Structure 1
Amino acid sequence: MGRPVIGIIGNSYLLNDSYPVHAGGTMNSHAIADVAGAMPLLVPSDPALVSVPELIACCDGFLLTGGRPNVHPEEYGEEATAAHGEFDRARDALALELTRACVASGQPILGICRGFQEVNVAMGGTLYPEIRDLPGRMNHRMPPDGTIEEKFELRHDVTFTPGGVFHSVMGAQVVRTNTLHGQGIKAPGPRVVIDGTAEDGTPEAIYIDGAPGFTLAVQWHPEYEAAKDPVSRPLFEAFGEAARKWAAGERQVPLVRAV
């Protein structure tokens, strides 16, 4: 059997400020190919081009990537403000429906940054438009200037629930991560389990209670140097293993809250 296929949800951009493209970061593809051991397949994030049933039929799992546009607050019952930034309604429409379908079926998904926020919104949660404006919170945004290495520098710890899902995957209860986001979870959806938090209490790792498959999501960017990073590597390896089991027709035991 060949490698499982992971659909990488792309983002819409203007190339050279004029030519519309769907694109995905190469580090996402390398993380999937080199660490998860799967075949990366870039998915145009527009339901006018692809449907959720078609995607589910041709992929064994999905990577919900980060991206500059934010989930539109109408998706969680709030009005848009300047603080909410840019939007991509086509990606909202595709990714939220896809997330709910995968949670229901057990098809593996891994959410990163915006993808982390999509998982929460898809499952009935809400978001803060700007974490750094909240009392007691640190600035989780990346430095506006500097090299790629400086932007993706490890900047804070994440502490996982003892004996929880992420503690098991990582083999450690406290890990060091990068941080490149403005928004964050305000209220988790009814089944969204916050399994890891930053030092300031910001949710950083979640999964879906009772989901019959791999439904992990993180607020940081594990795709950066995923093959070398001791936090990123086990996360993508676990995702790849879940996709291989799905492709082979094996189904996992539902994820449940640690007690």
Structure 2
Amino acid sequence: MRPIIAMTADTLEEPSTSLNVNQADYAPRDVKNAVIAAGGVPVILPFPDDISLATELAQAAVTTFDGLLLPGGPDVDPTLYGEEPSFAIGATLYPKDRLEQALIRATLAAGKPIMAICRGMQILNVTLGGTLYQDLASQDPDATIRHAQAAPGQFPTHHVTVKATSQLAKLIGEQAYVNSRHHEAVKRVAPGLQVVATAPDGVIEALADQADRQIMAVQWHPENLFAADAAQLRPFTLLVKRAAAARTTATFAAQPKVS
């Protein structure tokens, strides 16, 4: 049976022409396709407008899925890591932040795997106690690469170096050519996480948990690349594999003991 992979939703800013409603919930199509190609079943979790419900919904939802995928999206609200918004910050979506934070905590507590992409890596780092650059160009003088690429998203534009001993290196190698469309980035790495890839200018491009068994987070968008670069599907495949293992463990744990 295919593992269930939960994906958090965004909300359309403009009215949907097909549904004729404002703020329709949606998830990136390429992420959905990558999960299916990797052997999983994607389900979409919309966020509640009432943030007081975030923890309750997350704790209920975590019992229904085997792994969590945090896709890209809007900027992370900087008040979540103790800062006020700079002039260069983009649009934020506080209710989405709060649901994702609750889901991250519930998923980790349940021993289930997480994969995070771009903004997903950023909210993961913030949730676990890290901070962000709100805008690389104005806040990080060492950032010399254009991380918000002008090229179409399905084309890679810069290289990353991957930690040789990491799970990520086993999947995509110690050097990779990736796409890049972000202006925020990880600043202080959260306790419990480790850096497993960097760009040539030192910007953090991937994180994992210290044991490298439950969390894989990348700053680029492998969902846009895997059609032309098969290696970029492998992080999704690992997520599905970890999710299948988590399901098996949970199933065995729930079995009655035979005397």
Shift, 1:227, TM fit: 4.4
Cα distance in structure 2, aligned partners of 1:62 and 1:9: 8
Q: 1:45 corresponds to which residue?
A: 47
Preserved contact between residue 149 and residue 157 of structure 2 (Cα < 8 Å): no
Q: Is the 8 Å Cα contact of residues 31 and 227 (structure 1) preserved in structure 2?
A: no
The residue type equivalent to 1:153 in the other structure is F
**One-letter amino acid of the structure 2 residue matched with residue 64 of structure 1:** L
Q: Where does structure 2 lack aligned partners over 5 or more consecutive residues?
A: 252-259
Between the aligned partners of 2:83 and 2:224, the Cα distance in structure 1 is 32
Separation in structure 2 between the aligned mates of residue 200 and residue 225 of structure 1, nearest angstrom: 22
Residue segments in structure 1 that go unaligned for 5+ positions in a row: 252-259
Greater shift, 109-118 or 9-18, is seen at: 9-18
Alignment counterpart, residue 71 of structure 2, candidates 49, 52, 65: 65
Aligned to 2:141, the other structure's residue is in SS state coil
Report what 1:140 is aligned to.
147
Q: Which amino acid aligns with 1:20?
A: Q
What TM-score do the two structures reach when normalised by structure 2? 0.86
> How big is the shift at 1:164?
2.0
Q: How does 1:48-197 map to 2 (within 5 A)?
A: 48=53, 51-67=57-73, 69-133=74-138, 134-137=140-143, 138-143=145-150, 150-170=152-172, 172-197=173-198
Aligned to 2:219: 219
Please give the alpha-carbon distance, in whole angstroms, between the structure 2 residues aligned to 1:215 and 1:45. 22
Quote the RMSD (CA, aligned, Å). 2.0
Structure 1 runs, 4 residues or longer, greater than 6 Å off: none
Distance 2:184 2:14 in 1: 25
Residue 235 in 1 paired to residue 244 in 2? no
Q: What percent of counterpart residues are identical?
A: 29
- Taking the aligned partners of 2:228 and 2:155, their CA distance within structure 1 comes to 14
1:152, 1:180 within 8 Å by CA — same for their partners in 2? no
Query: Shift of the alpha carbon at 1:104?
Result: 3.1
- Matched AA of 2:3: P
**Matched pairs, number:** 241
Q: In 1, distance between residues paired with 2:204 and 2:232?
A: 17
More off after superposition, 181-190 vs 151-160:
151-160
SS in 1 for 2:197: strand
Query: For residues 203 and 98 of structure 1, what CA distance do their matches in structure 2 show?
Result: 23
Deviates more, 1:9-18 or 1:53-62: 9-18
Instruction: Give the distance between the partners of 2:71 and 2:188, measured in 1 at CA.
Output: 21
Point out the structure with max Rg over C-alpha: 2
Q: CA deviation at 1:232?
A: 1.2
* Matched-pair contact (CA < 8 Å) for 1:7–1:59: yes
Name the SS for the 2:156 alignment partner.
Answer: coil
What is the DSSP-based 3-state SS (H/G/I as helix, E as strand, rest coil) of the residue aligned with 2:180?
Answer: coil
